[in-house]
Amino acid sequence: MTHCRIAFRTRLCVTVFINHTNFNRRHRMGQRMLNQQNITLHGYTAPEAAAIVRKALSDVEHWMLWAMDPDPAENVMRGMLGDGINNSGAIGTWKWSRVPCDLPDIHTWGGHIAKGKGHPGYCWMGLVHVKGGKGEEFHIFSYPRPDLSVNREYLVSTGDLKMLRRFCRDVDRHYRQRRKKNIVSIDVHGGMDIELDLKSMERPCLPDTMLNDIEQQTDLFFKSAALYKRMNIPYRRGLLFSGAPGTGKTMMVRHLIRQSHLSHKTRPYYLGVNSRTDDDDIRSFFGNAQNNKRPIMLIIEEIDSLFYEANVSRSNVLAMLDGISPLNGVMLIATTNNPDRIDSALLHRPSRFDRVWTFPIPDKTLRLDYMKATFGLQGEDALLNHLAESTDGWTFAYIKELRVTASFVSLHAGHTALTPESLKQAFVLLDEQFKAGEKNHPCEPAKSQSVGFGARARRGNPL
């Protein structure tokens, strides 16, 4: 949920709590609140920003535009003022203080929840005076660009690049110890970011040939930037995971995020489609792939809902898919539970989705592998084999529910861990529910369907 709050201190100070992955759309609510206080928040070009600082500091003759590389400089500088609302502070031997100007002091929060000593993702706008321990001194001005993105570029009152690099390194060193290790953060468009443990042993239970194919396709793509450039091929790839709910599509996405981040330092962005998703969301989401030097992974869950439940135009979605910059190494991964509902224009063109995999209802071998990996029962192979045999048609989601229900049964019986007896009792309960279809889980294996850009267009498809 996005929140905006106006806070007034001794001199005008505005605090805006906005998820930055959804800034372009959500700023409208903050703008309305600011308007109530006769404050206008809009983006500035570099010359417009220069006019503000020249008015505030008329004795400074020259200003330099400091454009941020997406990483690490951007992440370093956006947090230089620390957590919360501060008008002065210290970063190692550097001291800083705010300077009044026509742009109000604006503190923004990117939606991260601090845990332990982790940085919660504060950003900032305004004019700041910085003074180093060796007599270094300069001013730095942060302002919203015309697209309202923040901390992507600054005006600085010095041309001493060595000093600026040293300052940036010192800021990075100051906060480095506070960052979470072995965590990859997924930027969720319009919601709270998701953190995945890179040490997790979670591995999708899929047929070996299918799992290896997906892993190789992803790994080779991110390894092959030079090859794409040499062959003059747009450096992008689209993968689509199709299948019934609970068959491991999301598990596979998590696995690829972890593996790609560990091997290639990819940056993942996630879009969950719902009835509030509109064209602004689509443009903002795909905008993450522009001008970014790190490899990008864009993830859209339930992409079939785009044209049925969301408030988006077909032409805008196709334009965004075709307009992704080919220079940044963009892999688009989408999932669908209903391949028949996907617009044929998405499937029948390789530049949008190059490979399509249908995730099957797990067979006995896969069900047994999943139970052995997640149930934590040692020496109970006979029981697990029996359960795998008896759960024909069950998805991984339903087998996971079997483990959860068995755990509650164990706790109710006074045990601290899952037991064979609790597992048997839970199976009796869920087997009756499964057969009755009370939770609308599929009771039959999904029929093999021809999907993908090589398949024939279906008769009667309205799109």
**How does pLDDT run across 142-186, given as a tens digit for each residue?**
988 887 777 778 999 999 988 888 888 788 777 655 556 788 888
Half-sphere exposure of 165 (CA within 13 A, CB side): 3
* Residues paired with residue 243 on neighbouring β-strands, in sequence order: 359
Unique residue bearing structure tokens 């249908």: 358
Helix (H) or strand (E) holding 155: strand 153-156
* Highest-pLDDT range among 115-124, 158-167, 171-180, 344-353: 158-167
Give residue limits of the domains in the chain.
13-176, 185-359, 364-436
User: Helix or strand or coil: residue 129?
Assistant: strand
Query: What CATH number matches the domain at 185-359, 3.40.50.800, 3.40.190.10, 1.10.486.10, 3.40.50.300?
Result: 3.40.50.300
pLDDT band at 461 (very low <50, low <70, confident <90, very high): very low
The pLDDT value recorded for residue 74 is 57
Structural tokens at position 65? 């535009």
Nearest to 141 by CA among 32, 130, 396: 130
State whether residue 229 is helix, strand or coil.
Answer: helix
Question: What radius of gyration do the chain's Cα atoms show?
Answer: 26
Does the pLDDT value for residue 439 go beyond 80?
A: no
pLDDT of residue 109: 55
- pLDDT > 50? residue 214: yes
- pLDDT value at 119 more than 60: no
Position 297 scores a pLDDT of 93
Distance between CA atoms of residues 263 and 185, nearest Å:
15
Tally Cβ neighbours within 10 Å of residue 269. 21
Question: What is the secondary structure of 61-110 as a DSSP string?
Answer: ---EEEEPPTTTHHHHHHTTT-SSS-SEEEETTEEEEEE--SSPEEEEE-
Query: What value does the mean pLDDT take over residues 21-26?
Result: 40
> What residues does 330 pair with on adjacent strands?
236, 296
What is 364-436's CATH topology? Helicase, Ruva Protein; domain 3 (1.10.8)
Burial of 208 (0-12, 13-18, 19+ CB in 10 A): exposed
What average pLDDT score do residues 238-261 get?
A: 93
**Nearest to 114, CA basis, from 147, 89, 79:** 79
Cβ(352)–Cβ(300) below 8 Å: no
Mean pLDDT over the full length of the chain? 77
For residue 446, what are the β-bridge partners? none
Dist CA 362 CA 351 (whole Å): 30
Instruction: Give me the sign of the Cα torsion angle 204, 209, 212, 215.
Output: negative
Calculate ∠ Cα 99-102-105, nearest 5°: 55
Please list the residues that pair with 91 across neighbouring strands: 94
Helix (H) / strand (E) element for 216: namely helix 208-223
463 pLDDT above the threshold of 60: no
What is the full DSSP assignment across 316-385?
Answer: HHHHHHHTS-TTS-EEEEEEES-GGGS-HHHHS-TTT-SEEEEEPPP-HHHHHHHHHHHS--TT-HHHHH
What are the C-alpha distances in Å from 312 to residues 299, 333, 334, 440? 17, 19, 17, 28
DSSP state of 249: H
pLDDT of 106: 65
Residue 211 has pLDDT above 70, yes or no: yes
User: What is the mean pLDDT of the segment spanning 82-102?
Assistant: 84
Instruction: For residue 340, count CB atoms less than 10 angstroms from its CB and return exposed for 0-12, middle for 13-18, buried for 19 or more.
Output: exposed
* All residues at 6 or more sequence positions from 22 whose CB lies less than 8 Å from its CB, including other chains: 2, 189, 190, 281, 284
What pLDDT sits at residue 175?
Answer: 66
Q: Which residues of 109-148 are buried (b: 16+ CB within 10 A; e: fewer)?
A: bbbbeeeeebbebbbbbbbbbbebeeebebbbbbbbeeeb
Q: Which is nearest to 340 in space by CA: 450, 443, 238?
A: 450
Query: Alpha-carbon torsion 270, 275, 280, 283, what sign?
Result: positive
Torsion of CA 127, 133, 134, 140, to 10 degrees: -10
**Which range has the top average pLDDT, 11-25, 186-200, 307-321, 420-434?**
420-434
Could you tell me the pTM of the whole model?
0.61
Residue type, 427: F
